[in-house]
A = this chain, B = another copy of it.
């Protein structure tokens, strides 16, 4: 998503040239390209698919909408398995229209996970609940903290349900370091994502995730927390950023790789 301006063949080519060994994919471009074809493309480029984004949106009250959401999540699991990734990231969903019941919405997510967890397991896929920043609680994700995500995940086996740790969503939370330790102890850190916090936020607050190093987040500090919690998996950089999307994708990818080395690796 960081370089969504690149078509999949350009993306895999650019990754290979830069020495980027893994890539997180989103469902829409994969579906457009064809899931099997995308899997072959990525495999032939020597790339690992780190995660598939995204399943979720599990908060509907309406029975039909709920059934459609579960169907779509099963399809997302199938796609993840075809792509050869073991992790499907979940954006859980916001409040249904007219509802003010955050607790009820969170409980419906648990109900859905009880159905989807075993299905994912049978396909070799783990679900990774992503707590989204509290500014998305109404319209995108009622799971706002790592603690809430773990409260949900821990009702299920770790190989079925874990969490996504994304710096952008949790950097403000003084409880997050202890929750990362909790997640690590349970084997539930299923992926670790980076984006920086920059202001002012754009209208709608979706596409303002800052390039690594441009904002308020100490990336090394957070990398330290997940490493101390035993995480050894891939680190993904996931930026939604209109100015970055308007630039040459290969240039943005190269810049992102350089920022990663400067602010995370060194």
Contact = CB atoms under 8 A, between A and B. Distances in A.
Q: How large is the interface on A (under 10, 10 to 19, 20 to 34, 35 or more residues)?
A: 20 to 34
Interface string A89-104: 0000001000111110
Interface in A53-87: none
Contacts of A102: 171-172, 174
A171 B134 CA distance: 9
Interface stretch (A178-186, A210-218, A232-240): A210-218
A166 B125 CA distance: 41
A208 to B, nearest CB: 9
A197 interface: yes
Interface in A202-256: 202-205, 215-218, 221
A192 B197 CA distance: 29
A138 interface: yes
A134 B148 CA distance: 16
A139 interface: yes
A48 interface: no
Contacts of A148: 174
A201 B199 contact: no
A101 to B, nearest CB: 8
B200 A201 contact: no
A205 B138 CA distance: 15
A258 interface: no
A21 interface: no
Complex A-B, nearest 6 residue pairs according to Cβ-Cβ distance, in ascending order:
A137-B172, A134-B172, A135-B135, A203-B203, A138-B216, A100-B218
Interface of A: 95, 99-103, 133-135, 137-139, 144-145, 148, 171-174, 197, 199-205, 215-218, 221
20 contacts: A95-B216, A100-B216, A100-B217, A101-B218, A103-B174, A133-B134, A135-B201, A137-B171, A137-B172, A138-B197, A138-B199, A138-B215, A144-B173, A145-B174, A148-B174, A200-B203, A200-B205, A201-B204, A201-B205, A205-B205
